[in-house]
Amino acid sequence: MKRFGESLQRIVPYAAGLFVLVLLRSTGLAQTVDLVIYDLITSQRPAESGQDTPITLIGIKESDIQRFGWPIDDGLFCKAFDTLNNNGVSVIGFDIYRDKGVGDQQQCLRDRFRERSNIVSIFNIAADIGPVPSTPAERQSYNDLSLDADGILRRDLVHVTGQDEATVSFPLRVMELATGDRSLREAMDGGLHQDAWLSANGGGYHNNIDAGLGMQRLLRFREPWSYRLYSLAQLLDGEIPPAEINNQIVLIGSTAASLRDLFTVPYSRFRREEEVFQISGVEIHANRIATLLDQRNSSLTAGWIMPGWGNLLLVILSCGSGLLLGETVPSMRKSVLAVGLVSLGLASGLGILLWNHIWVGIAMPITGLLSLSGAALIHRGGMSQKHSQQIRQLLGQTTSPAVAKQLWDQRHELLSNGRFEGRQLPITALFTDIVAFTSVSERMNPSELMDWLNRSMSICVPAVTKRGGMVNKFTGDGMLAVFGVPVVGDQSREAQAALEAAAEIKLGLEALNQELEQEEKPQIRIRVGIHSGDALVGSMGCQDRIEYAVIGDAVNCASRLESLDKGRHNGVIRVLLSSNTIDLLSEDFRRSLHLNHWGSIQVKGRNQPLDVNELSLDNAPAAAPANEP
């Protein structure tokens, strides 16, 4: 069960990261983000002017509707066609539905479409609207446009292969009549023309376009409203200079808002206007024709669309990069910084590609990088927290939790190559030993003896650790406690904490002995030695076993004081301390002590004698715990 929980902790962050990716794609949010980015780049990218093209627009404006009414009489269009042809126009593209005639001169309009070889009529496949009657098939064309799900026009349906002669797109038909060149359509029909064609999952699209609906590419826009534009009234009144339309492609279509032949385009999202920014259908067709002319003249940067498999590969690579950055960079802070920089670089790079008409899905790779690196960092942080808790717990078993935390917080300064560097620190050592342990052990079985020992240690250890001390080691029936490590503290407070710990141990033992007496078990009496001085501290051992060692004269002296004159012991506890410790105590605390001076005593293994005092705890209550560091 524990292993299952650990495995679950590893899996959950990554499963959550992948779930974010699936959710982003399945809900269409990824496509929405990609399209917004596409619109932003398109609106900010410099666009050429329509003035530089051989295209002139005759727009039916609101003023034309007020003057001529709507629908406009066929006879007026006949007059418009004659005026244009008399001024030497190249091609007339008639972007107005007139499958049903208007007025008394309907035959006139039909005759113009039948007889004039430079006039193109439109029909609409989706709306089932036919062309102007009598128009030959070679001058018919469909003007269907492909809107995205958000209602924005971004795509150009250039051509549908395998159709009859009449089923040719309006811009392609106009371009062919203007240039006399059908090679582009022939190449597309033969599958020989390579272009940045859209697919179901190409670029930023995610299964949200009809990939089977002909050959589609992204629309190229000239600067909005930059084409030469005249009204129908200006044309009929002879107010257009002949030079402005001579040898021009002239498109006639509605521009009046009331006729609703307006389209929302990528520019619309980022243009702050009082009304919704829209472009007329006739200008949309002008852009499409201009692109075909640029392509024919080899002045068009074709660009490229990342296919679906390429987008998938990029997402996989981004996820892998996120995992590597999240898992392998040594420092989590550096890992977060690296993820941020790589994400920014990836987003910038993909944005630059889009600026240059190379469209690669952006939302999914960036999300994959961030979500998987985030999952790795969460997993790594969880593991780090777990390790931290383990270390704190491990240290907290022998030292104050507050000191353990302080040690963890300063681990970078204290640790070197996974070890605590050796340092010399001023400490106060407290050494304990149980009186007559050998004889007691002979009367108890191992289980009873261990329980008896642990009950005493359950009193001694908390008395030390809650005052900021560290139980450095257990010595069978005793322990070595140290105050002042591993983080340097106030020496006076540490010395006082050692004496207070001894007082608390006394009270605890007295209560414990009452329980033991009722259980008819041996009483516990303890000898304590306390000494203050310098000690060498740091990691000691080899790769297989390393422990935090505290060695030196201070520890030796505490041990010698504990074992000094063992027969001289009254009561449940005997505490011997050196003058080194007494000298560190504050004057007020020192006056509160009851000391029995034993004199200067030479202890084993030390040249200099120790000035020894016995601390009387018979009338001294245990002091409150010292504030932990």
Model confidence over 341-367: pLDDT tens digits? 999 999 999 999 999 999 999 999 999
Asked if residue 154 and residue 50 are part of one domain, the reply reads yes
| Residue 332 CA from chain centroid, whole number | 14
Determine the pLDDT at residue 468. Answer: 86
Tell me if 131 is assigned to some domain: yes
Residue 326 makes CB contacts below 8 A (sequence gap 6+) with 335, 339, 372, 373, 374, 375, 376, 377, 379, 380
**What are the counts of helices (DSSP H) followed by strands (DSSP E) for the chain?**
21, 23
Average pLDDT over residues 104-117: 95
Same domain, yes or no, for 597 and 518? Answer: yes
Does residue 113 share a domain with residue 236? yes
Above 90 in pLDDT, residue 403? no
Which residues face 601 on adjacent strands? 610
Residue 288 is assigned to a structural domain of this protein:
yes
Q: For residue 284, what pLDDT is reported?
A: 97
Same domain, 444 and 300: no
Owning domain of residue 567: 401-615
Q: What's the pLDDT at 60?
A: 97
Q: Which residue, 287, 305, 323, sits at the end of a domain?
A: 305
pLDDT of residue 543: 55
Q: Which residues contact 344 (CB under 8 A, 6 or more apart)?
A: none
Q: What is the CATH number of the domain that holds 461?
A: 3.30.70.1230
212 pLDDT more than 70:
no
For residues 446 and 528, state if they share a domain.
Answer: yes
pLDDT value of residue 394 = 41
Closest CA to 206 of 308, 342, 296: 308
* Torsion on CA atoms 165, 167, 168, 174, rounded to nearest 10: 80
Token couple for 354: 């889009």
Q: What is the three-class DSSP state of 155?
A: strand
Query: Residue type at 3?
Result: R
Query: Both tokens of residue 52?
Result: 């530089």
Q: Are residues 534 and 411 in the same domain?
A: yes
Residue 16 domain flag:
yes
Do 372 and 429 lie in a common domain?
no
Name the burial class of residue 370, with classes exposed (0-12), middle (13-18) and buried (19+) by CB atoms within 10 angstroms of its CB: buried
Give the end of a domain, one of 282, 305, 328: 305
Tokens of 616: 């009387």
Please determine, for residue 8, whether its predicted confidence score (pLDDT) is greater than 70: no
Contact 584, 605 (CB under 8 A): no
Token output for 154: 């971004």
Q: Taking residues 4-26, report their average pLDDT.
A: 78
Total domains in the fold of the chain: 3
For residues 532 and 406, state if they share a domain.
yes
Q: Are residues 153 and 126 in the same domain?
A: yes
Rounded to an integer, what distance in angstroms lies between the CA atom of residue 328 and that of residue 475? 42
Long-range pairs, 448-456, Cβ under 8 A, ≥24: 448/521, 452/516, 452/521, 452/522, 452/524, 453/477, 455/512, 455/524, 456/509, 456/512, 456/524, 456/526
Are 239 and 129 within one domain?
yes
Whether residues 468 and 551 share a domain: the answer is yes
Under 8 Å between Cβ of 381 and 332: yes
**pLDDT digits 0-9 by tens, 437-464:** 888 888 889 898 899 999 999 999 999 9
- Residue 621 counted as domain residue: no
